[in-house]
Amino acid sequence: MNHLHIIDYCIILLFLGISVYFGLRFAGRQKSTDSYFRAKGKIPSWAIGMSILSTLISSITFLAYPGQGFSSNWILLVQGLMVPIVLLAMIWFIVPLYRKMIGLSTYEYFQKRFGLFARYYSSLGFILTHFSKMGTILFLLSLALANMTGGNTFAIMIVIGSVLILLALLGGIEAVIWLDVIQGFMLFGCGIACLLIILFSVKGGPAEVWHIASANHRTGFGPYDFTFKKLTFFVMAINGIFYGIQKYGTDQTIVQRYLTAKTDRSAIKASLMGVFMLVPVWTLFMLIGTALFAFYQQHTLPAMRPDAVFPYFIANELPEGVVGLIIASLVSAAICSLGADLNCLAAVGVEDYYKKIYPAKSDAQYLKAGKWLVIVAGVGTLSIAALYLSAGDEGVLGIVFNLYAIFSGGIAGIFLLGIFSSRANRQGVTIGIITCILFTAYAFLTSTKIGTGADKKLWLDLGAYNFTHHTLMLGVYSHLIVMVVGYIASLFFPKPELDSNLLFRGWRKRMEQG
pLDDT surpasses 70 at 514: no
Burial of 421 (0-12, 13-18, 19+ CB in 10 A): middle
Domains of the chain (ranges plus CATH)? 6-27+40-391 (1.20.1730.10), 409-514 (no CATH)
Q: Phi-psi bin for 463: left (phi > 0), alpha (psi -120 to 50), beta?
A: left
Please give the Cα distance from 51 to 175 (Å, whole number): 11
Cα radius of gyration (the chain): 23
pLDDT 10s digits, 357-394: 999 899 999 999 999 999 999 998 888 887 776 654 44
Residue 396 pLDDT: 54
Q: What is the mean pLDDT of residues 453-475?
A: 84
Q: d(Cα 325, Cα 15) in Å, to the nearest integer?
A: 9
Per-residue pLDDT reduced to its tens digit, 465-499:
999 998 788 888 999 999 999 999 999 999 999 98
The model carries a pTM of: 0.86
Residue 401 has pLDDT above 70, yes or no: no
Instruction: Say if residue 258's pLDDT is above 50.
Output: yes
What is the percentage of the chain residues whose pLDDT exceeds 70?
A: 94
Element (H, E) at 450: strand 449-450
Alpha-carbon distance of 310 to 312, in angstroms, equals: 5
pLDDT given at position 397: 53
Which range of 125-134, 370-379, 456-465 scores highest in mean pLDDT? It is 370-379
Per-residue confidence (pLDDT) for residue 188, from 0 to 100: 81
- 454 confidence band (pLDDT: 50, 70, 90): low
d(CA 65, CA 59): 9
The chain-wide mean pLDDT, for the chain, equals: 87
Indicate left, alpha or beta for 172 from its phi (over 0: left) and psi (-120 to 50: alpha): left
Question: With bands split at pLDDT 50, 70 and 90, how would you rate the model's confidence at 129?
Answer: confident
pLDDT tens column, 166-219: 888 888 888 888 888 887 788 788 889 999 999 999 999 999 999 999 999 999
pLDDT digits (tens, 9 = 90+) for 42-63: 899 999 988 888 777 766 677 7
pLDDT at 432: 96
Residue 393's pLDDT is 44
**Cα–Cα distance, 58 to 186 (Å, whole number):** 12
pLDDT in tens, 280-320: 888 999 999 999 999 999 999 988 888 789 888 988 888 88
Give the pLDDT confidence score for residue 402 in this predicted structure.
Answer: 61
Q: What is the mean pLDDT of residues 447-454?
A: 72
